[in-house]
Each structure stands twice: as C-alpha cells, then as structure tokens.
A and B are shown apart, each in its own frame.
Chain A
Amino acid sequence: MAGTVQCELCPTECVLENYQVGGCRTRINKDGTLYSLVYGKPCAVAVDPIEKKPFYHFLPATKAFSIATAGCVLGCKFCQNWQISQASPEDVDHQNLPPADVVRQAMFYGCRSITYTYTEPTVFYEYMVDTAQIARQFGVRNTMHSCGYINEKPLRKLAKLLDAADIDLKAFTEDFYSRICGGRLKPVLDALVVLRQENVWLEITNLVIPTLNDDPKKIREMCGWIVKNLGPDVPIHFSRFFPYYKLKDLPPTPFETLKDALKAAQDAGMRYAYIGNIRTEAENTYCHRCRKLLIERIGYHVQQINLTGGKCRSCGTAIPGVWS
C-alpha cells in the first residue's frame, strides 16, 4: 500500500497522496517515495552578465551560466517569468543537461559562476546541489537568485555550496506575501539570517510595486530590519516594476518612488543601495567612506572598475563583496 509523504523542502510542506504532485509542480509522490520531476531538465539555459542577476558586489563584469527548470514555490501575481515558473515541467520545452554537462558548458563559455535563477531554484534543489558540488571541484562559483522560501535544514546544506545569493524580499508585510505571493514573510526573513550566518555573500532585491508595497513607512521598516539583522553592508536593489502577468492594471513604478526608497535605505544606514530596471546613476557603486565612484554601470554593462584588491583606489577602504 503506497503511503502518504510530506515534503520538507519549503515552508508550504505539502502533504502528498500517491501520484500527487506538490504545489511547486516539480515533486511527485510515487508509491511512497518523493521524486523530483525536473532533475537535469532545465527549460532555460543562458549566459548572462552577473549584473543581470543582479549581483553588484560579486565578481563584477563576469559571465554567469544561468539555468532554471519549470516550477515555483510561490505564485506571485507580478512574476516576470510566469510562463515557466507557473508551468508544469511537461508543459514547457526542456533539454537534458546533467549536472556535469552544466559545469562543462559553463567552463566552455568562460563563465566564472553558475547562477540558479529565472524561476525558483528551490524547486530543482537536488539538481542544484549536484551541479554545485561538481562546479566547486572545478573552481566555478555557485550563486542563486531566490525568493528565500525554503526551510532551514535544506538551506543550511545548500549554503555550504553557495558563494552568493540574491534574495527577493518582496515586501515587508505578511499581508502582501499572503495575498500577492501565496506565501509568508517570516520564513524569508529567517532564510536571510541563515544565509548571513553561513557566510554566503548576500544581496537583496525589492521590486517596488505601486500601491502594493511602496509605503515609505514599510520600506523604512524593512531597511531598519536589514541593518539590524544582516548589517549595513548588504546591498539592496530597488527594482522598477513593469506590469506583467496578473498585475497588468498597475502602472510602472514612478522614478520618484524608487528615489524615496533609495533615500530610506541610506537613512537607515545601508551603505550600498541601488535602483534597478531603469537607467540612472543609482546603478553605480560609490565608496561608502569617500563617496568616490568605484564601479560605473550602464544597464548590465560595466564601464569602469576603480577597485584594487577589493579596496577603494581613492581612500583604500575595503569594500564589502567578493571581487576575485
């Protein structure tokens, strides 16, 4: 008699009857054993600038071999990759690419890192872990862009293999996570703390959506929490929203709103706050001590880097990040 199983990977912790698939669409109970449906089957494979992830303090101006499979642990109404994140594996084209081949291709294309991204890497956890182990043996770094909706035990195991993580902190209210994403805020905050404790280089992305999460008070509160719990050196990217998926009725984020968010972060003591998805000077990195230009960016392109050995060329201050 086939038994019921409970997935313990993400905080949803789906209970699955025989032949039932989890809410992420990627894990199935077959005769009392849980299997991954996406292992070695990426639906998106690309070579991207690391700045696209976005990582601004991690090996700037290098290439990241990026992979994703179908599925997601959340169901955000604003998802920019909903065609693959909200799809079942059998509904999207994929290629067969075992972990060793991912690393081989990454090295062939001259990528310094592999990024698990586009959808939610937690859903292809086993594939990511196996790939990351091989990558590490060959000196290729591992990074992920994730929503951080993952339980502590699997995250700690994964963190041992990760060099950097960019976590989407989508808002600072439980209401937003519940109504707009179908998840909870608390596990994401816990994941951020775990990543910090495990010494994974951490950056945070906050997509600012008009009327839904652009309350200046909540943004200030969020920045205060980051400084208190993660420190002032964690870079934050305030990203401009564009109408997608189920939120097509909202306008793109006004530039003024993003500037206010940037100021709130700086006022809270965050040393490295950026604006993304829009061309501005707030894409550049400035030394937190002497305010001189360290990295000039235009979109995903790096124009100049004024760092030597991870230090500001002007005043010699060590800049937080992974630079070599």
Chain B
Amino acid sequence: MKIKRREFLGFFLIGSLVSLVLNKLGLRRTERPKEALFWRRKV
C-alpha cells in the first residue's frame, strides 16, 4: 500500500500534537538520571 504525501503529513501532525499534549500534561515517561542524596563536592 502506498501512502500519499497528504496522509503522511496528517499522521506526522497528529503524532506531534499527541506528543505535545502528553508533554504538557507531564504524562510522558522520560528517563532522567536521579541525583543521589548525601554527597558533597570536594574543594
């Protein structure tokens, strides 16, 4: 099945919008390193 340019752009737009909404709502799970507790910088 061949996807038309118009359909491709449509999917792309919808995907971007969904991602944007999830990010705004803070529902998207992103892996962030967890800063440790109980340490200090050595001078």
A residues contacting B by CB (< 8 A) are 3-9, 15, 27, 30, 32-36, 39-40, 125-127, 129, 151, 153-154
B38 within 8 A of A: yes
B35 within 8 A of A: yes
Q: List, in ascending order, chain A residues with CB within 8 A of B38's CB.
A: 7-9, 125, 151, 153-154
A4 and B41 form a contact (CB under 8 A): yes
A153 to B35, CA, bound (A): 17
A99 to B36, CA, bound (A): 15
A39 and B34 form a contact (CB under 8 A): yes
B40 within 8 A of A: yes
Q: How large is the interface on B (under 10, 10 to 19, 20 to 34, 35 or more residues)?
A: 10 to 19
A45 to B26, CA, bound (A): 27
| Interface of A (DSSP majority class) | mixed
A9 and B42 form a contact (CB under 8 A): no
Distance from A150 Cβ to chain B, minimum over Cβ atoms (Å): 9
Distance from A269 Cβ to chain B, minimum over Cβ atoms (Å): 36
A153 to B39, CA, bound (A): 11
A-B CB proximity, top 6 nearest = A39-B34, A34-B39, A34-B36, A4-B42, A35-B33, A8-B38
Distance from A32 Cβ to chain B, minimum over Cβ atoms (Å): 6
B37 and A154 form a contact (CB under 8 A): yes
A5 to B41, CA, bound (A): 4
A3 and B39 form a contact (CB under 8 A): no
- In chain B, residues 1-43, which have Cβ atoms closer than 8 Å to a Cβ of chain A? 33-42
* Closest Cβ neighbor of A129 among chain B residues: B37
A34 and B35 form a contact (CB under 8 A): yes
A5 to B36, CA, bound (A): 11
A39 to B31, CA, bound (A): 10
Distance from A267 Cβ to chain B, minimum over Cβ atoms (Å): 40
